Amino acid sequence: MLFPTTDFALFFAVAFTVNWLLNPYAGPWKLAMICLSYVFYGWVGWSYCLLLLATTAVAYTGGAWVAATTNERGRRIAMIASVGVLLGILGWFKYYGFVSVNLDNVTHAIGLGRAVPLLQVALPIAISFFTFMAISYVIDIYRRELQPAKPLDFAVYISFFPHLLAGPIVRGEELLPQIRRRRDPRSIDYSRAFWLILAGLFKKVVISSYVSSAIVTPVFTSPTQHSALEAVFAAWGYGVQIYCDFSGYTDIAIGLALLLGFRFPQNFDAPYTARNLQDFWRRWHMTLSRWLRDYLYIPLGGNAGGQAQTVRNIMVTMVLGGLWHGAAWTFVFWGALQGVGQSFGHLRRASRKRRGLPPVADGPVRAWVQRFLTFQYVCLGWVFFNATGLSQAFALLGRVFSGWGEASPLVTPLLVFTVLGTLALQFVPPLSVSRLQAAFSRQRTAVQVGILGFALLAVTTFGPVGVAPFIYYRF
């Protein structure tokens, strides 16, 4: 069920009403939220609900097992076993086809025939998101950072529909306390919630959809038939498309949760203003970045060892982060690019520190050069992220070097304005945005309704007929 659809609007009207009617009654409220969330998830295929239920059962049982075990060795075994089962479920649905095809290619090449059966395993929507939430719950209990939740609380935590399909990846310590307490409808900032929802709809339905149809899809589909300028704008355009698509989803999810009385963590912070890749990953998909840092990079050793170990840990984290996004060599390559870029930055900083060199003199020119180069490197990665195969990605990059001087009919003034304007908006100071939101919140209800109505009219007018699924739904 897509957020920007009539089906979801009707569903949310029911969910909103049920949420506040049952708010005083904890048990019925939790049961209702679980049922509504399973209806939401099962809208595209009821069999997927069995997977969500199985993941919930494994994680809850694993957390209880870890908490009930007194000796440290037993706790570690319980944690590893539980996480192993969760990763096994994820691996079967998401990576079996990728591994089996590549293994089959290798065994055929060396004359051993077929090594494993080639099965078509359907990828359940959002499996990566709720699996990572389940894993963090078990590990946090093992680390004694979280107490086991009650069964209904945990079932709501995993299945809560605003975050279910594409995050944010909410930790147990962030969401479980909110599930346990009664919410006050008088404390909800409804104007901010509607602001976020409409901003997200505009990003997704208008900007992301337009850039996709105007430049990204045509150029990526047949890169050799387009000019260098069109190839460049396709790469930049996909950077804008995926940002508006995913941050738009996040805005909607945070706004919907706020209407129900819940606060989700921030997931984006003007990522294209970053001055290096490390800074970019502090700003892009922030809940995933923190997850990879806390549950993969730091357990691997982080930067506590030598330079070689640190580079290894960065590369492993980013390559596995690439594979998290999809079972394809394009995602592996994308993750490796991120790892190489971050490793280079780390080694450069460490080298200057080791040689006792003073910090490089900073200034606006240097800052803008860093932002420009970081954005180009990020867009280079996006080419592989969006490509259907490595050959398509390299073909598009090849046009950047060989297609100058050719006609570029797709690079229209409207496209240039949309791409560059969207990037420029990220440099608007957050305080200015907060003041604008606050000014909107202070308006009379009739004025707010008028503004929201006009914004919704703009979304429906400038948006396409029908809405494509959010990009991150497939992860």
Exactly one of 163, 226, 285, 325 is catalytic; which is it? 325
Dihedral sign of CA atoms 91, 93, 96, 101 in order: negative
Show the tokens assigned to 424.
Answer: 């420029």
Q: How far is CA 84 from the centre of its chain?
A: 23
Q: How far is CA 277 from the centre of its chain?
A: 17
- Nearest alpha carbon to residue 386 among 163, 166, 164, 218: 218
Residue 312 to residue 99: CA distance in whole angstroms: 23
Token match 């800052």: residue?
367
Backbone angles phi, psi at 412, to 5 degrees: -90, 160
- Nearest alpha carbon to residue 241 among 372, 453, 386: 386
Angle ∠(32,38,39) on CA atoms, nearest 5:
90
Q: For residue 407, give the DSSP letter.
A: -
Show the tokens assigned to 475.
Answer: 């992860």
Question: Is residue 15 within 8 Å of residue 156, measured between CB atoms?
Answer: no
Q: Please report, for residues 226, 231, 388, the alpha-carbon distance to residue 221 in angstroms, rounded to integers and kept in the order given.
A: 10, 11, 9
* Residue 346 annotated among the catalytic residues of the structure: no
Show the tokens assigned to 194.
Answer: 């509607």
Instruction: Annotate 184-209 with DSSP letters as a single string.
Output: -GGG--HHHHHHHHHHHHIIIIIIIH
- Nearest alpha carbon to residue 241 among 471, 462, 460: 471
Active site residues: 325
